[in-house]
Structure formats: C-alpha cells, structure tokens
Structure 1
Amino acid sequence: MKTGIVLISHGSKLSSGNDGLFKVADMLRAMNRWDMVEGAFLQLAEPGFGEVVKRIVEHGIHRIVVVPLLLFKGNHVYKDIPEMMENEKAKYPQAEFLYADNIGADERIALIAADRIYEALIEKQYGGKPRIEQPQDIVDESFEIIDKLVDLQSVPELHRPIIQRAIHATGDTEYAYNLIFHPKAVGAGIRSLKDGKNIVTDVNMVKSGINKGPVEKFGGKIICKIAEKSVAEDANRLGKTRAIVAMQQSIHEMKDGIVAIGNAPTALFELIDLIKKGLAQPALVIGIPVGFVGAVEAKYALKDVSIPYITNTNRKGGSAVAVSIVNALIKLAKE
C-alpha cells in the first residue's frame, strides 16, 4: 500500500519561521522510503492539515502517517491533532490514518541541544585564537571539546577512550550512547594484540587506517583478502559478495585475533555463521558496518554469538569507526 507522510508543525506568521518544516520534509523525501511527504501547519500558516490530506488522497495514497513535529506533549498532541484526524477520516473512509508519536524527551534531542550550546559558546571560548596547525594540538583540542559535549563518567574506564575515538573519527556524539560492548570485549582485544594475533578486516580502507607499527611489533599482521584474485573468482562462481568469500578464506588467520568489519553487513553475517558452526574463532569481533540493507540486522545477530564483540544497533558505522575502535585498543594495549 502506498504511504503518505504528513508532518505537522505549529505555524508562524513569519514565513521564515515555517521554513524548517519544509526543510525536514525535503530531508525525508530524499530518503525515498515513502510515496509522498508533505508539511502542514496547525495555525497561522498554510497549507493546513485538511488541504494536505486532500492532496495526498488525490494522488491515490490511502495510508497516511501523521507525525507531530512538536517537542513535548500538550493540547495539540493530545486533543487538536487527533480531532483533525477524525474529521479527515470521516471525509475519506477509504484511507487509513496512523498517528506517530511526537518528538518527545529523547537522548538525540539532548545531543542536539549540547551541540547548540557548544556552538553558542565556541566564539566566546575560541574566537580570536590563532589557528591550530600542530597535529597533536588538534587532537588534544578535539578531545577537550568531546569531554565538554558528552559525560562519560558513568562509562567503564576502559570503554571511554574507545567511545572518544569513535566520536573523534565521525564528529557524531551519538556514539557516546549507542556503542555496545560485550563485558569481555576490551580485555579480549587487548590480550589478542599483546599475544601477537592478527587483525582481519572486511575492506582495505579499514586495513589502511589501522596503526600497523604496534601491531607488527606485537607480532601480528593486518589482513584483508577482499581484493585477492581467488576471492573475486570464488565470489563470481558462487554468486556471493567478495566480502563473504573473504571472511571464508580468512578463517585460519583470524584465530584468536580481532575481526574488524566497518563496511560490509554480508561479511558480518558470514562471520557470525562461521562462528556458530565452530569454523571461526576470533577473540573479538568489531561489527560496525554501515548501511540501509542488513547492517542493523547483522549487528543484532552479533549479540547472539558467544564471542566478545563491540557494535551498535543502528545504521551508522563505517570504516572510520571500525578503525577508531581498533586504534583505541592498540593504544590501550601499549600502555
């Protein structure tokens, strides 16, 4: 069934005060997940809710999700919008209306607020300072800023540098809240590195970003087979991704080592299958692939394996995050 989205905002007499709603609608349209996304105002501005619903129904869309872009619950959320929906249901009995929750008190709102606070203070705190060009000074300044944006005091001590480096690599403070650590993950990773075991990666971008000097000094290697000829040949023959075949061909190299997956959900799914079959025995899995297809599902599946892991539970991730986690573990192993 086709789905239309109606975003509802309060409305303002100032046209500039209404632009934000249309920008959010544009962002949702760009996701290409729904057939139609429109904005409507409760009062003081056009279009109104009824006009937008009429427009959607005229496009042959009969499932309409109403999303109040209102921060907290009040009369608009509890009374006004439901009454408006009932009126439209009477006009269009063939349409199904679904009422989404309002924005509400959400950690992501707190993170946005923290960013806005920092933006307001940055000119006062750093305005007029000379540009920082020395690499270590840039890193130190970055970590000072991260410490001001997120409070990690309640986080286990060995988890903090890993979270900080993930935030530093991405500029995304959400990693303060959505990285998930198996209780034995950090210890397993440090022991594996100190014992000179290998690091296996899903893509060369992850391999290239890892600080190989300390790894080699410990006695380990950083291995990625995705570009090898045999992997490409087997992938074509089997009709599978090279990431899957690369994991299959890296079973021996990953024993008691670290597997870092930052790009390919199929690599993580395959690794999980290999672990469950007893064919792969890494000491730690860093499963942080990015993407819309399979990434979230693979991360949830990872939490069911017996091997220590570090992951998250949303679409975010990527090579930079995987690299940052590995390099944080390397730094801890050197201490």
Structure 2
Amino acid sequence: MSQVLHTPPPTTAPPAAEEDLAALAARHGLSVSGARPSLPEYVRQLWARRHFIGAFATAKLTAQYSQAKLGQVWQVMTPLLNAAVYFLIFGVLLGTKKGIPDYVPFLVTGVFIWTFTQSSIMAGTRAISGNLGLVRALHFPRAALPVSFCLQQLQQLLFSMAALVVILLAFGVPPAASWVLAIPALVLQFTFNAGVSMIMARLGAKLPDIAQLMPFALRTWMYVSGVMWSIDQLVGKHSDLPSWVAPVLQANPAAVYIDLMRFALIDSFHASQLPDHVWLLALGWALLAGVGGFIYFWKAEETYGRG
C-alpha cells in the first residue's frame, strides 16, 4: 500500500514575535540609543551639564603644563615669547612699528587675542576625534567638548590679560574707563570662537586629517588679520589697492575682535581706525558663527563616536 504524505498548508499570518519592531518599541516607550534630541532639548541638556563643562576646562588647563617645571607660568610666557619673536621680525626687521604709537602694547594685545581664537579652533578641531574614548563611554551632549575647550582657552587668556595690564602700565598706557569695553568684546569673541570650534569639531570627527591642515590655514589667517601690523596704515599707504581690499580686511572677524580690544585698552588707538559699525560687525560674526555652528554640530550629534 502506498502512503501519501500531506504537507500542511503554510500559515499566512506572521507570528507575534515578528511584529514590527519599531511599533513595538514605540508602544513601550523605547527610543534609539544615542538618538539626536530636539534642538531645545539639546540646549537644555547642555545647560544641565554646565558644571561638567567648567570642571573639564579647568582640569585640562591645569594638566596642560603639569609636566613642566615652571608649570602654569607658561600660560603667560608662551604668548609673551611669541610676541617677542614677532616684535623682532616684524617690528624691527620689517619696520611695521613705524607710525604706530605704543607698538609693544599694540602687538601684545594682537598676539594675545589672536592666540585665543587660534587655540580655540585648533582644540575644537580635535574635540571629538581626540576624545573618542570619552565620547563612546559616556552619554552627554557632544557640544560640551568644543565648548569646554574654548572655555579652557578663555581661562588661559585671562591669565595672559594680567600680564597685558602690566605691559600697558609699563609702556605708559594709563587705565581708562574704556577698559570695561574689553568684557563685551571678549564675550562676543568667545561666542564666535565656540561656533567655529563646533564647526571644525564636526568636520574633524569625519576627516581627522583636517587637523594637519589647520595650522597652515590659521597662519594665513593671522597674517591678514593685522596682528603685527596696522590694517588702517596699510590701506592709507597703498592707495593703489583694489577698493574691496580695505573693507574685506577690516571686516575679517579676527581683525574685528583684535581691534576692538586695542580700542578698549590702548588710548592711542582711536575709533577712526575701526571699521564702520564695528560693534554690529562683532555681534553679527558672533551670532552667525555661534548659532550657525551650534546647529551644524547638533545635526550630526548621533554620528559622533561611531564608525
């Protein structure tokens, strides 16, 4: 006798275990690990970690020169030595000090303020790529890293400003009420620096090699920002320059913050040497870089530390 084996018909209804996972997770209030929060929520999370940002910045600053015998003295000595080199090369050999009253305070102010921007951007470029262990181990708003590095550089600048005050007094620059203007100028510069640092942090997270190119880009930026020479004098001496050169040089954000600080601290640096509507320029650059950089960084929040 032959036996016929009957195969049971396939079931068409999917088992409960294969229910759509996204719907299942949503029903039980689960969310993707490391998902990007909304922009207002991201701002709230960042503000909630403000104490971590401050402590992290202070710890990095303290550890920066911990292996050197002179320790924290290098926070002031490094920019001062840079200023001395620039004075020898540009002020003496190239003669850029001619026609600039109070050239040493002029130069030192430019070097200190430029160093703040330069160091903030360089540190921001490596903020994610250089701290992958921290990024992958802990959950926190990643913007805390570039902001904390900018805060570290601001703290270092404040140490340098104490030396700058001594230099101003030593070269006969009297204290003045205009010195108060240094506070809003620094606030705007910090906002600008933090925004650019966040832009570079996102780029550096995906393209680590960009950190090797930044010193060249920043050095070029320094040379066109009037750190060692006067943009106002350059424009006056070279009337054959194209008409667009002067406003572009004067509107350069690094030059704007440097000249604002010079105007605040040096009585021989007059308002006529500043570009028109300089405070609006400073505010515009701060908002453009600060807000734009923050949003640009936030949009890639869930990608940092992956891959």
Select the structure of larger CA radius of gyration.
Answer: 2
Which TM class, normalised by the smaller chain length?
A: under 0.3
**Structure 1 length-normalised TM:** 0.21
- Structure with more relative contact order (C-alpha pairs < 8 Å, separation 6 or more): 2
**Structure 2 length-normalised TM:** 0.23
**Greater share of residues in helix:** 2
